[in-house]
Structure 1
Amino acid sequence: MLGAFGAHALKGRLDAEALGWWQTAVQYLLPIAVLAVALGVSGRTEVRLSGWLLGGGAALFAATLFAMALGAPRWLGAVTPVGGAAMILGWALLAWKASRPRP
């Protein structure tokens, strides 16, 4: 929905840089949100932290990009990597948990 909104409703209203931010936010948010929900409903408590890091990181990453695209101050761009770092930690933790033998 956010991708369609950006492609149609915002296309003539935002410059190319802002549309790029919007597109990047959408590209990261959707697949990671689906993964975070899947981890949450899996019932496996050992991946819970990974899900929170991935979901929270994606939300923060995308929210700052969406906000900047809509005109928020550009200093928010300094917060965006915090969300990216949380996503990286979530992936790393998930990979580590997946590589360990299950009891």
Structure 2
Amino acid sequence: MKTLLVLGALNGALAVILGAFGAHGLKARVDESMLATWATASEYHFYHALALLLAGLLAKAYGVSNLVTAGWVMFTGMLVFSGSLYILVLTGQKWLGAITPLGGTALIIGWLMLAWSLFKHA
């Protein structure tokens, strides 16, 4: 639980830093399409940093280990989804776009696990 809370807070800060870097540092270096890709990565990164905080707080409140598992699945999805998009923009390696949906799938599974855990235990 505590680890999810710390990861959520750190990733919230990182999402803001990377979002600002994309808005200011990449503007002159990449085209509009790549800037939009970076914006999507940082937006999802930030939303799921908040989701990690939510999962950690709910796990603490309800004492349900499945909520912790849901948080870890979301964390993995966030790393793969946003991470692959960040690297794609920085390197131009388009094949990384094939990995992104795996991260998106993990994000969806994490949200569904969160919903199921709350349905069963809250």
Determine the structure 2 residue equivalent to 1:77: 97
2:51 to 22, 29, 35: 35
Deviation readout 1:24-47 (Å, 9 max, x if unpaired)? 000100121222134235433230
Larger helix fraction of residues: 2
| 2:67 paired with 1:47 | yes
Structure 2 length-normalised TM: 0.77
Compute the RMSD of aligned alpha carbons.
1.4
8 Å CA contact retained: 2:55, 2:114:
no
Looking at structure 2, the residues matched to 72 and 40 of structure 1 have their Cα atoms a distance apart, in angstroms, of 35
Bigger drift between 5-14 and 92-101 goes to: 92-101
Structure 1 length-normalised TM: 0.90
Looking at structure 1, the residues matched to 66 and 21 of structure 2 have their Cα atoms a distance apart, in angstroms, of 36
Deviation readout 1:34-68 (Å, 9 max, x if unpaired)? 22134235433230110011111011100100011
Determine the structure 2 residue equivalent to 1:100: 120
Determine the structure 1 residue equivalent to 2:84: 64
Bigger drift between 72-81 and 37-46 goes to: 37-46
8 Å CA contact retained: 2:70, 2:111:
yes
Number of residue-to-residue matches in the alignment = 102
What is the identity percentage for the equivalent residue pairs of Structure 1 and Structure 2?
38
Q: Note the residue ranges of structure 2 that are not aligned, 5 or more in a row.
A: 1-16
Q: Note the residue ranges of structure 1 that are not aligned, 5 or more in a row.
A: none
8 Å CA contact retained: 1:64, 1:80:
yes
